[in-house]
Structure 1
Amino acid sequence: MAGNAGNNQRIIPLDEGWDDEIKAKAIDRLEGLLNGDLTGSIFGPKEYVQIYTTCYDMCTQRSPYNWSRELYQRHGETIERYLTTNVLPALRDKTSQGGTILLSELKHRWQNHQIMNKWLKKFFTYLDRYYVKHHSLPTLSEAGLRCFRTNVYDEIKGDTTSAIHGLINEEREGKIIDKSLVKSVVELYESMGMGTLDAYNTDLEEPLLTSTREYYAKKREDWINDSTPDYLIKAEDALDAERKRVEDYLHTSSEAKILKVVEEEILERVEMVLLEKEGSGCRALLQNDKSEDLQRMYRLFGRLENGLNPMANILQNFITSMGEDIINRRKARLDSGEKDKNDDPKFVKSIMALHEKYLGVVKDDFGGNSLFQKGLKDAFVEIVNKNVGQFTNAELMSTFCDRILKSGGEKLSEKEVDANLEKIVQLFSYLTDKDMFAEIYRNQLAKRLLSQRSTSNDAEKSMIAKLKMQCGTQFTSKMEGMLNDLAVGAGQRSEFGNQLRTVDTKLDFSVQVLTTGFWPTYKSPAIALTPQMSKCMDIFKDWHDQKHQKRKLGWVFSQGNASVRGIFGKKSYDLQVATLQAVALDAMNGGATMTFTELATKLNVEENILKPLMHSLSCGKYKVIKKTPASNKINTTDSFTANEKFSSNMRKIRIPMASLDGQLNTKRVEEDRTIAIEAAIVRIMKARKTLQHQQLLSEVLAQLNFFSPNPRLVKKRIEALIEREYLERSADNTQVYNYLA
C-alpha cells in the first residue's frame, strides 16, 4: 500500500489505463468522429471529466507507477499513427485530381488535426502543466503541430504549393476561384512556422515570387506592342489586382515583395521603351495634353527607384523645344523684315502661356514633384536667356510690364494686370541677368511716374513687392525710393502751390523733387527757358532753400512736361508736350520763322538735342510746326515756322518726343556689377582669411544671384583688390589669397 500514499486509490497499470480507458473511450471515438464514422457531439462534460481524471491519476501515481513519460510518448505516437495511416494516404490520393480537390482535402484534414490536437491537449492537460514544464519539452500543442509538419506538411507541400500557384494564375486570367479555400491553406503554411513566417516564406512565398516573375515576363511580351497608355492601364490593373490578392488570401508581408517583382517585370525592364514609344510615349502625351495618361505614367514610374528621372528629362527637353519654337518664330519674323523693337507682347505672352501651361502640368499631373520642378526650371532658364535680335529678353519682359502698367497700353482689369505681373515675375526668376532687367525696369518706371502715365499706384507697388519677394530689399530699394519721392512730393507741391498763389505769375507751375540716388541719370541740356519759367524756378528755389538748406537743387528739364495753349486759325488746342518742346513752341510764337541754326542759338541747345526736338513737332503725327523743305528728316539747313493750316479733331493733343537717353545704361549696370563682385570677394575673404583661388571663385559665383559674371571678370576684380591692398597672394602659393585687415 506504500504506492498509494496512505489512501485506498487503486493503482492504474499503464496498458490497462491506456487501452481500456484513454484509447477506447477517447482516442478511438475521436478518430471515428474525424473519419466520419460516428455522429453527434464529440464529448460531453461527464465523458471529458472521466477521461481527464484517468490521465490525471496515471500521471500522479508514485514511482514506478507514474506514467507521465509514457503518456507523453503515446500522445505523440497516437497523432503520428493517425496522420500516417489516415491523413497522408488520403492527401496523396487527391494529388492527381486537381488543385482545388487537393487543397480542399488538406483544409479538411488540417481542421481535423486542430480538433484532435485540441482534445488531446485537454485530456492530457496535467502533462502540460507539470511534466512538460519540468522537463522543458515541447507543449502538447507544439508537439502535435510538429508531428503534422513532419508527417504531412513536409510530404505534401510541393504539391500544395503548385496547386496554390495554379489557382492564383487562374485568377490572374480572370477565372473565379475559391479564395476562402486558398486563405485557409495559406494560414496552414503560416502555422507551420511555429510562431515565425519561415515556412510561409520559404515554401510558399519564394516559389510564388518566381512564378509571378515568369507570369508577368510573358505578359510584358504580350502587352509591349500596345500603345504606352494602353500598356500602363494594364500594368496598373495588374498591380491593383496583386495588391487585392494579398489582401484576400496571402500574408500582408508579401505585398511589397510581390509588387516589387511585378514592377520590375512590367515597368522597370521596359521603362525607356514605353517612355520613348513613337506616337504614344511621354513626349506624345505632353504634346497632346493627355493629362490622365500622364498622371498614370507618373504614378507607375514613381514606384520605381529613380523611375521618374527619365520622365523629368523628357519634360525638360520637351519644354525647351517648345520654347525654341517660340524663339524661332520671333527670329523668322525679324528675318522677314519685321522691325526689331523692344516691345514684342506676342513673344512675351507666348513664353508666359508656355510657362503657365507646364507649371500646371507639373503641379496637377506630376504632383509638384521636385524633379519635374527642376526640369521646368532648367528648361526656362535656357529659354528665357536665349536672346534674338538686338533687344534682350530682359528688355522685352520689362517693356511688357511697362505696356500693362502705363495708361494707353493694354486695356486690362486690375485682376488681369496682377495676374500678368505674377507671370512675368515667374519668368524673371529664371533670368541670369536680373540686374539688367532691374535697370531697364527702373528707367521705364521712372518714365511712367514722371510723365504721370502710370495707370495704378497700387499695381506699381504690387510689382515692386513681387520683385522684392524674389530678390530681396537691396534689389528694389531704389524703386521703392522713387515711389516714396512721389508720395512725399505730393505734399510739397501742394504747399508750394499755396505759396505760388501769393506771387503774380502767369503760369500754373509745379515741381517734383527727386532724390538723385534713386532715379536714373538723365541728360539735361541747359536750355534757355522763357522768362515766366525762369521766374517760377527762382520762386521755387527760394522757397525750397528756406525749407531744406543742406539740399542742393539740380534741374532736369528733359523730364518735365507742359500744357501749351495753341491757336491755329480760329481753333484752339491744348498741346501736351515736354518742357523742351514747350520752350521751342514759345520761340515760334506769333508766326516767327527761324532757321535750324537760329533756333539752336536762341534755345542754347546742341544739334543732337534740337534734331529730335524739332522732329517731334514737325515730322510726327501732329505737325504743329511747318518745316521747309518738307521731308521726314531734320537737317541743319531747314527752317521752321508755325503751321497755320494745322487742324485736328481732338482738342487735347499729346505730342510725344523721342527720349534723349538710351533705354539701357549698360555702363551703370557694369559699374554696379563691379561693386557687387568686389563686395562679395571682401565679404568672403574677411570671413575665411585665407582661400584658394578656385574656391574663392566658386563662393563668389554662388553669392551673386542677380547676374552670372564671367570668371575672368571676377579674376580681374581680385587683381584690383590686391592692388588696393585688400588682399595679398600667399608667399608659398600664388593660387592662394590672404585677407589684409
Structure 2
Amino acid sequence: MSLKPRKVDFDTTWCVLLETVKSVITCAKVNRTTWNDRFSYPFVIFDVYALCVACPEPLSDRLYVETKQFLENHVQELYQNVIQHGDESYLSQYHKYWEEYSRGSSFLNLLYGYLNTTFIKKQKYSEADLSYGGFSVESADQKLEIGELALDTWKRFMVEPLKDPIVKLLLADIKNDRMSSTVHQTVLHGVINSFVNVEEYKKKHPLQLYEEVFEAPFKLETGDFYRVEAAKLKDECNCSEFMEKVIIKLDNEDFRSRKFLHPSSYSKVTHECQQRMVADHLQFLHGECREMVRVEKRKDLSNMYQLLKPIHGGLGVLIQEIETHIKNTGLEAVKNLKGDNIPGQFVESILEVHGKYTELIKVVFHADQQFVGALDKACAAAINYKQNPRHGCKSPELLSRYCDNLLKKSSKGISENELDDKLANCITVFKYLDDKDVFQRFYSKMLAKRLIYTQSASMDAEEAMINKLKQACGYEFTNKLHRMFTDMNISTGLNNDFSDFLKKQNVSELGVNFSISVLQAGAWPIGQSNLPTFAIPQELEKSVRMFETFYSGKFSGRKLTWLHSFCNGELKFNHLKRPYFVSMGTFHMAILLLFNSSDSLKLSDIMEHTKLSEAELKKQLQTLTETKIVVLEDDASLDSALTLNLNYNNKLDEDRKMYLQAAIVRIMKARKILKHTMLIQEVISQARARFSPNIPMIKKCIEALIDKQYLERTSNSTDEYSYVA
C-alpha cells in the first residue's frame, strides 16, 4: 500500500473510518482483518494518513471537524441514556459510561496519531507563547489533540449538565459511608476522579474543575457534618472520651479521603475536620490541660498533643502548663535541702526531675522541640532560683562542690564509667546555670586545692571534666584550668631536674623528702597580697635554698614567691606509745618541730622562732589544740605555755573499733556459728569499702564482744564462735 499523496474521496473514506472510530470509542471489538487490511500500515493509521496528505488539498481540517461532531453526538447520546435511568442510577450509569469512554478516548488518540502530530501540534501555541508572547488567541480557541478533544467533549456535554445532581448524590453516599452504611466504593471513587481525569491534559490548573465542582461543596458538607458531631460528643463525653473519639473520627475521615478523593484533597479535608472538631473547641480543651498535666495523665496528654499540634496556636497553653509544672516540681526538689550532703542532694534532685520529664516529653510529645524548650526554661528557673533576691544564687557553688566531691580521693566505690556518667550529668546541670562565671570561680579554687594537695582521685577524670566544660562554654572559659594542669605537669619535670641537679652538686640528701610545685601567678586563684610573715623551719632551709639556686640557674629573671600557707608536710610522732604519721600545713609543722627540744614552750617563744603574727599564730594553734596534739594553758596570751600532749590517742582508732564490732555482730547474727578464719575474712570484706583493717585490731574486737557476752566460743572448738541471742 503506497504512502504517496493521492486524491481521496473524503465521504467514502470517512464512512469507513467512522465505523472503526465508533468501535474504538465504545471499546467494541474491531475486526482484525479489516483493521490490518484497511486501516493500518507500519506505525501509521492509513485512512487518517491518507486524508491528512490528500491531493490537491489536505483534508485534515474536515477530518477534525467531523470527528469533533461525532464525539459531541456520541456524548449527548450517552447523556440521554444516563438521565433516562432516573436519579438513583445516575452514579452507576455515569460511572459505567465514563469508564468505557475514557478508555476508548485513549485508544482513539492513538488512532489519530498522525493527525495529532502533523496537524494539531504544529498549530498549537506553547504555554510560553500564551503567557509571554503577547498573542491574543485564547487557549480555548486552539484545536485539541483528539484524546484531549474527547475529554473536553465529555466535560461540556456530560459533566456540566449533570454536575449538580451527581455531586449531590456523591455527598449523600459519602455521608452514608460516615454513618457506616454500605456504598459502592468503586463507583464513588471513579466518578469523583473523573472530574480530575477529564482535565488532566491541561498544563495550567488541571484540578480546577475538580476543585470547583466537587472539592469545594465537599469541604463545606464535611465541615457541617463534623461541627454537629463535635457538639454531640462534647455534650455526651468527658474530655478524655471526647479526645479519643475525635481522634478515631479524624483517622476514619483520613482513610475515607484516601478511598475516594484525589491526593490533593487529603490535607484540605483533614484541616477542615480539625477546625470543626478541635479548633472550634479550643477553650474546652485548654481548660482541661492544667489538671491533666498536674496528675501527668500520659494517655490524655498524648491525645491532647495529637489534636492540638496541627492547630495554629493550639499548643501554647499546653506548653505553658508543662513548663509551669516542671518548674514547680524542680523548685520543690531544691528549695528546702537539708543534711550533710546538700550539693549531692541538689544535683541529684535536679537530674531526677530533668530525667523524668525528658523521658515524658520524648514518649508523650515525641520530643517536640517546643516542649524541649519548655523543659529547658523550667529547669533553668528551678536551678537559678534565689531564695533571697538580695543574695546570689547558690546553685553554681553547690554544683562545683558536687564536682569536687566526685573528683576527690575521698570519693569511694565509684567505677570509672560511673564517674564519667556523673560528670556528664554535671554538665547537664551546668548548661542551665545563669552565673557560669560564679561556678568557674568556685570550681577553679577547688581544682587548685585538689591539684596542690594531690587530692584528685583521677587526673584523667579531672582532664575529662575540663574538656566537657570546654565543649559547653568554649576554650576561653577553661583556659586557666588548662594552664593549672600544665603547671602541675611542668612541676613534675622540674622535680626530676632538681634531683639531677642535686646529684651533680654531690648533695646526697636534703634531710627531708622535698617536692615543689611552681605555679603561674595569673593562672591560679591564689592571692599574693597580705602574705603572712614566716620563718621556715631549720629542717627545710637547705631544701629551699638549693631549689632557689637550681631554679635561678635554669630560668634567669624569674622570681619565686613562696606560698607557705599552701604547703603541707608529713610528720612522724615518735613521742607516743605508738608512732603516728600526721599530715599538716607548713605553719603547724613549724610549730611542732620546735617541740623536738622541749615539751613545753611559751607562745612568745614560738612567735619569735616562726615569725608568725600573733593573730596568725593563734589561728594555727586552734587546730592543734582542738585535735589535742598540744595543750594550751589558760587563755591564748603570749605568756601562755603550750605543752605537747604525751598521752595523745587518735580517736579514729576508736571509731574503727566500734565499726568493726558492729560488723562482727551483724555477721554472727546472720550466721549463728562461724569459724575464726571465716569471720576474719568476712569482716575484712565488709570494712574494705571504708578502710583496711588490720587483723590484730579485729581480734581485739572479737575479744571485747566475748567479754560483753555478744559472742562465745563453742564447746566443740576453740577457733569457732557462736552468737549469743
TM score, norm. by length of structure 2: 0.72
Task: Verify: 1:185 aligned to 2:184, yes or no.
Answer: no
Distance in 1 between residues matched to 2:208 and 2:367, nearest whole Å: 42
Distance in 2 between residues matched to 1:51 and 1:557, nearest whole Å: 119
RMSD after superposition: 4.5
1:274/1:555 CA distance change after superposition, 3 Å: same
- CA deviations on 1:564-608 (whole Å, 9 max, x unpaired) are 111354211111111111112223446633455554444332343
1:590/1:214 CA distance change after superposition, 3 Å: farther
Output the amino acid matched with 1:180: T
Deviates more, 1:541-550 or 1:200-209: 541-550
Distance in 1 between residues matched to 2:572 and 2:68, nearest whole Å: 127
Distance in 2 between residues matched to 1:483 and 1:126, nearest whole Å: 87
Determine which of 511, 516, 519 is the counterpart of 1:514. 519
Output the amino acid matched with 1:83: L
> Partner of 2:536 in structure 1?
529
Task: Verify: 1:206 aligned to 2:216, yes or no.
Answer: yes
Alignment of 1:568-587 (within 5 A): 568-587=575-594
Distance in 1 between residues matched to 2:409 and 2:10, nearest whole Å: 119
* 1:442/1:479 contact within 8 Å kept: yes
Determine which of 164, 169, 188 is the counterpart of 1:158. 164
- CA deviations on 1:86-114 (whole Å, 9 max, x unpaired) are 33221xx2x2x4xxx54223212334555
Matched residue SS, 2:631: strand
Task: Verify: 1:408 aligned to 2:395, yes or no.
Answer: no
Deviates more, 1:179-188 or 1:217-226: 217-226
1:625/1:377 CA distance change after superposition, 3 Å: same
Alignment of 1:700-715 (within 5 A): none
Output the amino acid matched with 1:350: S
> Partner of 1:277 in structure 2?
288
Alignment of 1:468-487 (within 5 A): 468-487=470-489
Matched residue SS, 1:575: strand
> Partner of 1:382 in structure 2?
381
1:504/1:214 CA distance change after superposition, 3 Å: same
> Partner of 2:574 in structure 1?
567
* 1:149/1:192 contact within 8 Å kept: yes
Distance in 1 between residues matched to 2:9 and 2:457, nearest whole Å: 117
Distance in 2 between residues matched to 1:535 and 1:68, nearest whole Å: 123
> Partner of 1:216 in structure 2?
226
Matched residue SS, 2:335: helix
> Partner of 1:37 in structure 2?
none
Task: Verify: 1:44 aligned to 2:39, yes or no.
Answer: no
* 1:597/1:636 contact within 8 Å kept: yes
- CA deviations on 1:168-205 (whole Å, 9 max, x unpaired) are 23333445543222111122222444733222111111
Task: Verify: 1:105 aligned to 2:93, yes or no.
Answer: yes
Distance in 2 between residues matched to 1:583 and 1:359, nearest whole Å: 56
Matched residue SS, 2:581: strand
1:639/1:357 CA distance change after superposition, 3 Å: farther
Deviates more, 1:417-426 or 1:126-135: 126-135
Output the amino acid matched with 1:613: Q
Deviates more, 1:473-482 or 1:306-315: 306-315
> Partner of 1:418 in structure 2?
420
Task: Verify: 1:87 aligned to 2:115, yes or no.
Answer: no
1:215/1:528 CA distance change after superposition, 3 Å: same
- CA deviations on 1:303-337 (whole Å, 9 max, x unpaired) are 3445454444333323222222223323xx5xxxx
* 2:334/2:349 contact within 8 Å kept: no
> Partner of 1:675 in structure 2?
none
* 1:529/1:603 contact within 8 Å kept: yes
Alignment of 1:107-126 (within 5 A): 107-114=95-102
> Partner of 2:270 in structure 1?
259
Which is bigger in relative contact order (C-alpha 8 A, separation at least 6)? 1
> Partner of 1:551 in structure 2?
558
Distance in 1 between residues matched to 2:464 and 2:12, nearest whole Å: 104
1:459/1:297 CA distance change after superposition, 3 Å: farther
Determine which of 279, 288, 309 is the counterpart of 1:268. 279
- CA deviations on 1:342-400 (whole Å, 9 max, x unpaired) are x5321222123323444455556555554344333333333332234777211111111
Matched residue SS, 2:262: coil
Matched residue SS, 1:562: strand
- CA deviations on 1:99-153 (whole Å, 9 max, x unpaired) are xx54223212334555786899999999989999999656665565455444443
- CA deviations on 1:375-426 (whole Å, 9 max, x unpaired) are 3333333333223477721111111111111111364222222222222223
Matched residue SS, 1:189: helix
Alignment of 1:651-730 (within 5 A): none
Output the amino acid matched with 2:84: P
1:548/1:170 CA distance change after superposition, 3 Å: same
TM score, norm. by length of structure 1: 0.70
> Partner of 2:678 in structure 1?
none
Quote the sequence identity (%): 22
Distance in 2 between residues matched to 1:426 and 1:456, nearest whole Å: 21
Query: Which runs of 5 or more structure 2 residues have no equivalent in the other structure?
Result: 1-5, 40-45, 124-140, 656-725
- CA deviations on 1:259-308 (whole Å, 9 max, x unpaired) are 22123233333446435415764x247x45x3x76566555544344545
**How far 1:243 sits from its partner (Å)?**
3.6
* 2:76/2:158 contact within 8 Å kept: no
1:360/1:637 CA distance change after superposition, 3 Å: farther
**How far 1:558 sits from its partner (Å)?**
0.8
Output the amino acid matched with 1:514: L
Output the amino acid matched with 2:348: K
Matched residue SS, 1:462: helix
Q: Which runs of 4+ in 1 moved over 6 A?
A: 9-14, 25-31, 47-63, 65-70, 115-136, 633-638
1:565/1:79 CA distance change after superposition, 3 Å: same
Output the amino acid matched with 2:169: A
* 1:558/1:578 contact within 8 Å kept: yes
Output the amino acid matched with 1:274: L
1:265/1:392 CA distance change after superposition, 3 Å: same
Output the amino acid matched with 1:209: K
Deviates more, 1:373-382 or 1:528-537: 373-382
How many positions carry a matched residue from both structures? 611
1:111/1:643 CA distance change after superposition, 3 Å: same
1:55/1:413 CA distance change after superposition, 3 Å: closer
